[in-house]
């Protein structure tokens, strides 16, 4: 599946009923669905999407369920980037990762639409919705970002935000 428009998330449901968001896929990304008998994850639309299903031969190997390697790669990247970071560092890292993919918000100068719900950010980074909201408010107070409304973000100090990541 090729994402033409919108955002797709790879979600794994945990035994306790919680969900773990493994990755986000943006326009131009290809999503290889998990096809094993014990499905590893599902692909869900975050926004209205346009998906192109291609009949091209699958790059997956016979010995591994299709899509599992892709999800594993995304998860290992996430773990490597955020496993030893504070919550503020993780959220700053995530904002910098998604920035190139966010659509512009023409109502505000230099602003972007936040297309990923705060609850999805929390589930992806292993924190709570409240912590994401508090951290975004803190970043705004520190003038690293501006939040003209709940669906819009302006990156006012990219160097400062990058410094928060600790990288």
- Are 71 and 32 found together in one domain? yes
Instruction: List per-residue pLDDT tens for the chain, 167 residues long.
Output: 889 999 999 888 888 888 888 889 999 888 876 665 555 778 899 999 999 987 654 555 555 445 556 666 666 666 666 677 899 999 999 999 999 999 999 999 999 999 999 999 999 998 999 999 999 999 999 999 999 999 999 999 999 999 999 87
Last residue of some domain: 60, 79, 98? Answer: 79
Q: What phi, psi does 77 have (nearest 5°)?
A: -65, -45
- Are 102 and 129 found together in one domain? yes
- Are 90 and 154 found together in one domain? yes
Q: What is the CATH number of the domain that holds 117?
A: 1.10.10.10
Last residue of some domain: 12, 45, 79? Answer: 79
Report the alpha-carbon distance of residue 164 to residue 158 in Å, rounded: 10
Report the alpha-carbon distance of residue 44 to residue 54 in Å, rounded: 18
- Are 95 and 46 found together in one domain? no
- Are 108 and 71 found together in one domain? no
- Are 102 and 37 found together in one domain? no
- Are 51 and 99 found together in one domain? no
- Are 41 and 98 found together in one domain? no
Task: Identify the pLDDT of residue 73.
Answer: 67
Q: The whole model's pTM is what?
A: 0.79
- Are 124 and 90 found together in one domain? yes
Q: What phi, psi does 80 have (nearest 5°)?
A: -65, -30
- Are 61 and 107 found together in one domain? no
Task: Identify the pLDDT of residue 61.
Answer: 52
Last residue of some domain: 58, 79, 100? Answer: 79
- Are 102 and 66 found together in one domain? no
Task: Identify the pLDDT of residue 136.
Answer: 98
Number of domains in the chain: 2
Q: How far is CA 154 from CA 88, 108, 111, 115, in A?
A: 18, 8, 4, 13
Q: Provide the domain limits for residue 109.
A: 85-165
């Amino acid at each position: 599946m090729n994402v033409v428009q919108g955002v797709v998330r790879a979600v794994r449901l945990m035994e306790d009923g919680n969900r773990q968001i493994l990755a986000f896929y943006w326009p131009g990304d290809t999503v290889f669905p998990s096809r094993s008998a014990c499905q590893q994850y599902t692909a869900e639309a975050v926004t209205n999407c346009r998906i192109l299903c291609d009949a091209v031969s699958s790059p997956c190997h016979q010995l591994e369920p299709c899509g599992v390697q892709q999800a594993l790669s995304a998860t290992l990247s996430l773990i490597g980037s955020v496993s030893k970071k504070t919550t503020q560092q993780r959220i700053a890292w995530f904002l910098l990762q998604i920035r190139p993919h966010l659509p512009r918000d023409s109502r505000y100068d230099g602003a972007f639409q936040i297309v990923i719900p705060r609850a999805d950010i929390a589930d992806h980074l292993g924190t709570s919705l409240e912590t994401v909201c508090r951290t975004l408010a803190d970043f705004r107070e520190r003038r690293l970002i501006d939040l003209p409304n709940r669906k819009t973000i302006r990156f006012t100090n990219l160097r400062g935000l990058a410094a928060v990541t600790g990288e």
